[in-house]
A and B are shown apart, each in its own frame.
Chain A
Amino acid sequence: MTHSMSGGRPIALVVDDEPLIEMEAVDVFHDLGYEAIGTRNADQAMLILRARDDVALVFTDIEMPGTMNGLVLAAIIEATWPGIQVLVTSGRTTPPDEMLLGRARFLPKPYDARQIERALALMAASGSLAP
């Protein structure tokens, strides 16, 4: 099952188990020019990733209930869909180990729209953002 991009906007998948944060992240990505889909855990995110082939970016919290946390999700995406960019966020004080992050970038909470923009720009500049 595939979907075409809505009006040319790239698709961003937001994963956060706190509805307030997920809602806000969806709106922020919308403001940044994405069509954003909100999900509440990695299992839901995986369902969507398997069903669509047009997800450009995944923005995920680390600590979530379900079968896996955000870091594991990021690793699976890197291995299975290398074209998808991954941004990982969390309220924890120390960023996750470089090795655990892989190609994903880390953005600490609380973040604002500008920080997301900057992180996306950095990823695009390093040449790893999907066209």
Chain B
Amino acid sequence: MSNTHIADLVLESAVDYAIITLDLHGKVTSWSKGAEIILGWAEDEMLGKPAAIFFTPEDRSSRVPESEMTNALTQGRGTDERWHMRKDGSRFWASGEMLRLHDGGPTEGFLKILRDRTEQKRVQELQTLLNQELIHRLKNQLAMVQGIVNQSLRRADDIEEARLAIGNRLGVLGRAHELLLTGIGERAAVRTVVEKAINLHVDGHASQFSVEGADIQVGPRAALSLALVLHELTTNAFKYGALSNGHGCVEIRWGISAVDGAPAFELSWRELNGPVVSPPVAMGFGSRLINAGIAGATNRVEIDYAPDGLRCSLHVSMADFQSES
């Protein structure tokens, strides 16, 4: 095979590459098959035309084609990643080079090679967006952790109490996150969130809880809040309430009701057969958290320190409760 034949084969076969030669004035002297496929113009349409045609109007007015050729002359090559134009007016992201054409002697023209990298660029941009979203969520979570740690420290009687409280609360947060990752989309079943938050399947708790409710999905933010609130209610029940004396129990029920004409998630927590309770003297972190209810939502929390057992009810609009943002 002669060198010219091999050269021809290369030009015909390298269809992913636009291989274009220009004269010293930047006018097209050859146009490969790949150039036709990527850019749209056929060789006979482009011969003698300025290469500037397939640069964007902005690049043309900034004289980018000229500076690419100048770079090729002064430095031997000019690498570039930029938008280029197709015959049909559409743009694509190109990765390419402008090289000096020579035979060991003076420059005879330029060689422009480029590949269409639009897909890769889109993937890169999507990746960046996703990373930013992840970092955003992470920072919000870190701020929540900060809240838990600081609040627990402020309100604990001693370091040991704080340490245990922090550990438990962070554990709840961690388990709730786990649930969200394995849920449908970013949601989880209310039942699973409830059971995890109250540690139903560990420590023999199952006999002390009665858990009943409809098959409802909860969104990520609401799930985290719900888990934290239930954890606080459980902790209080063990310390002072129905779960502190060995024969009390907790009844948890949930479902959908209507509030102001819109569907609302409703959960009730009822303690029975426990010691007589009275309202706390000061609002501990747990009580504040319970009263704050579900994050990012209009909700109503009612706590009733009834003598026969604490009752707490939560109402959240379904839209907020299931929101994935």
Q: Are A23 and B142 in contact (CB under 8 A)?
A: no
Scan A78-98; emit 1 where CB is below 8 A from any B CB, else 0. Answer: 000000000000111110000
Q: Are A91 and B320 in contact (CB under 8 A)?
A: no
The residues of B that contact A91 with a CB separation of less than 8 Å are 135-140, 143
Asked whether B146 is an interface residue with its Cβ less than 8 Å from the other chain, the reply is yes
Q: How far is the CA of A94 from the CA of B129 in the complex (A)?
A: 12
Interface residues on A, range: 20 to 34
Contact residue among B137, B143, B154 (Cβ-Cβ distance under 8 Å from A21): B143
> Considering residues B137, B292, B297, which has the most beta carbons from chain A within 10 angstroms of its beta carbon?
B292
B250-306 residues with Cβ-Cβ distance < 8 A to A are 285, 288-289, 292-293, 295-297
The residues of B that contact A112 with a CB separation of less than 8 Å are 146
A interface SS class: loop
Known: A93-B135, A109-B142, A110-B143. A64 touches B296 (CB 8 A): yes
Q: Are B295 and A19 in contact (CB under 8 A)?
A: yes
Known: A18-B144, A19-B289. A65 touches B150 (CB 8 A): no
Q: Are A18 and B296 in contact (CB under 8 A)?
A: yes
Q: How far is the CA of A112 from the CA of B151 in the complex (A)?
A: 13
Asked whether B245 is an interface residue with its Cβ less than 8 Å from the other chain, the reply is no
The residues of B that contact A27 with a CB separation of less than 8 Å are 150-151, 154
Asked whether B147 is an interface residue with its Cβ less than 8 Å from the other chain, the reply is yes
Q: Are A110 and B142 in contact (CB under 8 A)?
A: yes
Contact residue among B138, B147, B154 (Cβ-Cβ distance under 8 Å from A20): B147
Asked whether A24 is an interface residue with its Cβ less than 8 Å from the other chain, the reply is yes
The residues of A that contact B147 with a CB separation of less than 8 Å are 18, 20-21, 23-24
Interface residues on B, range: 20 to 34
Give, as a whole number of angstroms, the nearest-CB distance from B71 to chain A.
Answer: 32
Q: How far is the CA of A24 from the CA of B149 in the complex (A)?
A: 10
Give, as a whole number of angstroms, the nearest-CB distance from B219 to chain A.
Answer: 12
A11-37 residues with Cβ-Cβ distance < 8 A to B are 17-24, 27
The residues of A that contact B289 with a CB separation of less than 8 Å are 19-20, 23
Q: How far is the CA of A93 from the CA of B148 in the complex (A)?
A: 23
Asked whether B67 is an interface residue with its Cβ less than 8 Å from the other chain, the reply is no
Q: Are A22 and B140 in contact (CB under 8 A)?
A: no
B154 nearest CB neighbor, chain A only: A27
Known: A65-B320, A110-B146. A17 touches B295 (CB 8 A): yes
Q: Are A23 and B292 in contact (CB under 8 A)?
A: yes
Q: How far is the CA of A54 from the CA of B142 in the complex (A)?
A: 32
Q: How far is the CA of A110 from the CA of B237 in the complex (A)?
A: 32
Contact residue among B136, B146, B292, B297 (Cβ-Cβ distance under 8 Å from A92): B136
Contact residue among B139, B148, B221, B225 (Cβ-Cβ distance under 8 Å from A109): B139
Asked whether B132 is an interface residue with its Cβ less than 8 Å from the other chain, the reply is yes
* 29 residue pairs from A and B, CB less than 8 Å apart: A18-B140, A18-B147, A18-B296, A19-B293, A20-B144, A20-B228, A20-B292, A21-B140, A21-B144, A23-B285, A23-B289, A23-B292, A24-B147, A24-B151, A27-B151, A91-B138, A91-B143, A92-B132, A92-B136, A93-B132, A93-B135, A93-B136, A108-B139, A109-B139, A109-B142, A109-B143, A110-B142, A110-B145, A111-B143
Please name the 10 residue pairs, one residue from A and one from B, whose CB atoms are nearest each other, closest first: A19-B292, A91-B139, A20-B147, A91-B140, A24-B147, A110-B143, A17-B296, A109-B143, A110-B142, A18-B295
